[in-house]
């Protein structure tokens, strides 16, 4: 196990009606004026936004608002938000939504405290030294942004989708998780969220770091919980217990718990970010096509951990033929994704003629000549994986 620092100071408030505590929590964390950030309308339609406003009123906190954040959030919305935030002198960002809304709120929180262009943080030209506080009312378990210090934004002019990791400055100070808020999710978004949280675990699980039994077992146990609850939610979308378990799994999957002491991989995420940047697909659906292809590639190059996953999570019999075990694991994972209604190839995703040259070029321009850690992937490797994802 490698040395690590694990600092995760977010206060999680979990359960029914907890959005009513948004105002009290914002006040507790020192807000004088709150900026509510929300998405394309689901929070308006469900009445959630109105309940959050009431909660702020009840706490005597003034607020301003910015709606209209789109999935795969973009830099132009962040610039707009920074302007609103500065003009209104807001000092706490309250994200009401999913990963796209939360990531936009985080980027505004960092950008509003910086003289230069917030994009500098995403391209490594500057580091976030100080940021406004961020609070969250989560509406979809998926990205895990409610417990992470990450933000993922796309620059519209270049279609670069890049992530910023600043746990110390950008982890939310509080996150409200009410599973009932997820009843209104379309089944496809529920499925994409389930896939995303599973892959957040696998990016940590696929490691060469020795002696990480605790991380392995946390990963395997959480994956098994997700899959069990996914079946329940598919059959009964209003099952509170299943929704509650999934919501907490989504947080555990990405706040760092499952990867402490491990060298993490993240190649699949970087490869997918190119797909959602260029083709505008939902991140979780993009992952459902890339990860089986990545694992198929690993079956022929470094099958051990894929085989272990198959044995411990998918009950695949242990044999000396690790490649075959890994391939069986891929088949089981694809079967599960299909059951959820997810695409497992570019064709099923609606991308008939993927521009693989462009995907490879953009990936390595953004992430360097080698991508990932479980196997350090060259251009030739990533091309092979994109090709495996085609059909
Ligand atoms: O915009 P609205 O109208 O709210 O609709 C959203 C959106 O269309 C809808 N939705 C959310 N909650 C709902 C709901 N519809 C009905 N009822 C509800 N309760 O769902 C759609 C997707 O929302 P989005 O916020 O985009 O989903 P998600 O949480 O999956 O976030 C995806 C983004 O997060 C990034 C992804 O790349 C993508 O850009 N990621 C962020 C990470 C992080 N910050 O740590 C890590 C991830 O790996 C990921 O890359
Ligand atoms: Zn993800």
Q: Which domains, ranges and CATH numbers included, belong to the chain?
A: 11-182 (3.40.50.1970), 187-388 (1.20.1090.10)
Residue numbers in the chain where pLDDT is lower than 70: none
Task: Give the per-residue pLDDT at 54.
Answer: 98
Q: How far is the CA of 171 from the centre of ligand 2 (A)?
A: 16
As a whole number of angstroms, the distance between CA 80 and CA 107 comes to 11
Q: Which atom of ligand 1 is nearest to the CA of 106?
A: 44
The DSSP bridge pattern shows strands 133-138 and 92-97 to be parallel
What residue owns the CA closest to ligand 1's atom 38?
72
Q: How far is the CA of 103 from the centre of ligand 1 (A)?
A: 9
CA contacts within 13 A on the Cβ side of 265: 23
Q: Which atom of ligand 1 is nearest to the CA of 189?
A: 20
Beta bridge partners of 135: 94, 174
How far is CA 153 from each of CA 75, 114, 229, 354, rounded to the nearest angstrom? 6, 17, 30, 22
Residue 169 CA from chain centroid, whole number: 18
As a whole number of angstroms, the distance between CA 219 and CA 221 comes to 6
Q: How far is the CA of 328 from the centre of ligand 1 (A)?
A: 31
What residue owns the CA closest to ligand 1's atom 16?
185
Of the listed ligands, the closest to the CA of 37 is: 1
Judge contact between 326 and 295, C-beta under 8 A: yes
CA contacts within 13 A on the Cβ side of 20: 4
Element at 154 (helix H, strand E): strand 150-155
**Pocket mutation for ligand 1, best pick of 51, 138, 152 (most atoms within 8 Å of C-beta):** 152
What residue owns the CA closest to ligand 1's atom 7?
71
Q: How far is the CA of 196 from the centre of ligand 2 (A)?
A: 5
How far is CA 41 from each of CA 25, 101, 167, 188, 293, rounded to the nearest angstrom? 24, 12, 29, 17, 35
What residue owns the CA closest to ligand 1's atom 40?
143
Q: Can you say whether residue 47 is alpha, beta or left, with left for phi > 0 and alpha for psi between -120 and 50 degrees?
A: left
As a whole number of angstroms, the distance between CA 304 and CA 311 comes to 11
3-state SS class at 251:
helix
How far is CA 37 from each of CA 82, 100, 170, rounded to the nearest angstrom? 11, 10, 16
**Pocket mutation for ligand 1, best pick of 128, 143, 177, 286 (most atoms within 8 Å of C-beta):** 143
3-state SS class at 371:
strand
Q: How far is the CA of 205 from the centre of ligand 2 (A)?
A: 14
Q: Is the dihedral of CA 199, 200, 201, 207 positive or negative?
A: positive
Give alpha helix (H) positions in 314-378: 322-340, 346-349, 356-367
What residue owns the CA closest to ligand 1's atom 8?
71
As a whole number of angstroms, the distance between CA 240 and CA 214 comes to 29
What residue owns the CA closest to ligand 1's atom 47?
143
Element at 231 (helix H, strand E): helix 213-235
Task: Give the per-residue pLDDT at 167.
Answer: 82
* Residues with C-beta less than 6 Å from any ligand 1 atom: 39-43, 71-73, 97-101, 103, 139-140, 142-145, 148, 150-152, 181-182, 184-185, 189, 193, 196, 254, 269, 283-284
Q: How far is the CA of 147 from the centre of ligand 1 (A)?
A: 14
Q: How far is the CA of 45 from the centre of ligand 2 (A)?
A: 26
- Predicted TM-score (pTM) of this structure: 0.98
Nearest to residue 201, comparing CAs of 303, 104, 269, 282? 269
Of the listed ligands, the closest to the CA of 193 is: 1
Q: How far is the CA of 307 from the centre of ligand 1 (A)?
A: 31
């Amino acid at each position: 196990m490698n040395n690590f620092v694990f600092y995760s100071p977010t206060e999680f408030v979990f359960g029914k009606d907890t959005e009513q505590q948004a105002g009290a929590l914002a006040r507790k964390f020192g807000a004088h004026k709150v900026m509510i950030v929300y998405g394309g309308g689901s929070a308006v339609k469900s009445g959630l936004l109105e309940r959050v406003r009431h909660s702020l009123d009840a706490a005597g906190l003034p607020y301003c608002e910015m709606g209209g954040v789109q999935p795969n959030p973009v830099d132009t919305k962040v610039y707009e938000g920074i302007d609103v935030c500065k003009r209104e002198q807001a000092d706490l960002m309250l994200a009401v939504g999913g990963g796209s809304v939360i990531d936009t709120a985080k980027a505004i929180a960092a950008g509003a405290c910086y003289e230069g262009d917030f994009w500098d943080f995403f391209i490594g030209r500057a580091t976030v030294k100080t940021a406004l506080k961020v609070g969250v009312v989560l509406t979809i378990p998926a990205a895990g942004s409610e417990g992470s210090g990450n933000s993922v934004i796309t620059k519209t002019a270049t279609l670069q989708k890049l992530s910023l990791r600043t746990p110390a400055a950008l982890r939310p100070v509080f996150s409200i998780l009410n599973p009932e808020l997820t009843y209104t999710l379309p089944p496809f978004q529920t499925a994409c969220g389930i896939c995303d949280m599973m892959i957040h675990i696998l990016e940590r699980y696929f490691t060469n770091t020795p002696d990480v039994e605790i991380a392995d077992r946390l990963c395997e146990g959480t994956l098994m919980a997700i899959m069990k609850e996914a079946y329940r939610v598919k059959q009964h979308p209003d099952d509170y217990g299943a929704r509650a378990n999934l919501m907490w799994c989504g947080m555990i999957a990405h706040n760092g718990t499952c990867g402490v002491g491990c060298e993490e991989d993240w190649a699949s995420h970087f490869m997918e970010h190119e797909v959602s940047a260029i083709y505008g697909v939902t991140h979780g659906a993009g992952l459902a096509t890339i990860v089986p292809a990545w694992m198929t590639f690993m079956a022929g190059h470094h099958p051990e951990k894929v085989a272990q996953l198959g044995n411990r999570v998918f009950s695949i019999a242990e044999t000396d033929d690790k490649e075959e075990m890994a391939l069986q694991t891929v088949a089981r994972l694809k079967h599960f994704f299909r059951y959820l209604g997810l695409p497992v190839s570019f064709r099923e995703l609606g991308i008939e003629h993927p521009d693989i040259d462009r995907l490879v070029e953009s990936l390595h321009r953004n992430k360097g000549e080698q991508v990932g850690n479980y196997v350090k992937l060259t251009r030739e490797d990533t091309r092979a994986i994109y090709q495996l994802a085609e059909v």
